[in-house]
Structure 1
């Protein structure tokens, strides 16, 4: 007699018994590689990465042809991102920094020599937003753009530059960043 069952006599039970060693081998390899974890309570928020806000803005001030301001944000806010680059679709440049607020919201400040329309168009990425209001904060008039499907965009004319605020922050957090931007000193080139 044959040692093996004929193929037509094999069933799901036989298949399950042959897959168990394969699954165990995969789990052992994943555990050795450290790429597998199980957290019963769900994921935990990690530490927010920090950047040196002063150094980032100073580097932008040195490299860009327009004045760059350094806002004094609340101490509980964590500066966590910085970017310098072209405003899409134009020859203008921008300096953008981002903050995580004490409530876990994100706000960004972009400074650019682009016009208000070009700056809004580049940041909204084709979303149809329109000016829906205005805020007067610390001597600056901020035009508020947005719609129900997008986050708000606040834009102010600083003379040689435009500033844009956007993010998931609350009204109070937007006001705090707008005030800090309005009163921020322009950095000297080094």
Structure 2
């Protein structure tokens, strides 16, 4: 008969931490990594049913009227300066050639007071070429809206596009905002100052 010194009901003790090998440490890290990533992602994200939101006070800000006046000096068409509402911020203005077709585009990006993004594109390019340049394709039109007596053709896609022809210049509005903010930018563009082609910037 042999004597077992270990009591029958004593729980088995885990090995000391110093006894853990590299395999056990790697396994523990792989278990914890998804939890850390999940918690980090949740702390940075917010739910936005209408599309992505941007902090209106964050990011770069540019003087859109001044930059649009400068663009009008070189643009071969009349350039409008939108009279956007207080609380809207412009974050970019540029001028470029329309890809895949003749024409120049003057672009101005805006962050609305609600934190949505909109872009206004003014161009002398044909409507189809301008839509393809902005959207990468020509989605089917989904309807027409009237803003201030001006007819805007609405195109579907990942983001809606509104296009109007005003005195031979194509005006295009696109972005993540809702219809009300699309209308606001369309109205602000139509009501804004119009600079004839080649207008020199003020001294």
Q: TM-score, normalised by structure 2?
A: 0.70
Unaligned runs of 5+ in 2: 1-18, 26-39, 46-54
Hey, what does 2:163 align to over in structure 1? 155
Hey, what does 2:179 align to over in structure 1? 171
Confirm whether residue 100 of structure 1 aligns to residue 101 of structure 2.
no
CA contact (8 A) 1:84 1:94 kept: yes
Match of 1:141 among 151, 168, 190: 151
Residue 12 of structure 1: CA displacement? Answer: 7.0
Hey, what does 1:13 align to over in structure 2? 21
Considering only aligned residues, what root-mean-square deviation do their CA atoms show, in Å? 2.3
For the residue of structure 2 that corresponds to 1:69, the secondary structure is: strand
For the residue of structure 1 that corresponds to 2:132, the secondary structure is: helix
For the residue of structure 2 that corresponds to 1:144, the secondary structure is: strand
Unaligned runs of 5+ in 1: 1-10, 18-38
Confirm whether residue 120 of structure 1 aligns to residue 152 of structure 2.
no
Q: Which has the higher contact order (CA 8 A, sep 6+)?
A: 2
For the residue of structure 1 that corresponds to 2:173, the secondary structure is: strand
Q: Distance in 2 between matches of 1:135 and 1:162?
A: 15
The 3 A distance-change label for structure 1 pair 14 and 161 is closer
Matches within 5 A, 1:64-83: 64-83=75-94
Match of 1:129 among 129, 133, 139: 139
CA contact (8 A) 1:80 1:100 kept: yes
Higher gyration radius (CA): 2
Paired residues in the alignment total 156
Residue 181 of structure 1: CA displacement? Answer: 1.2
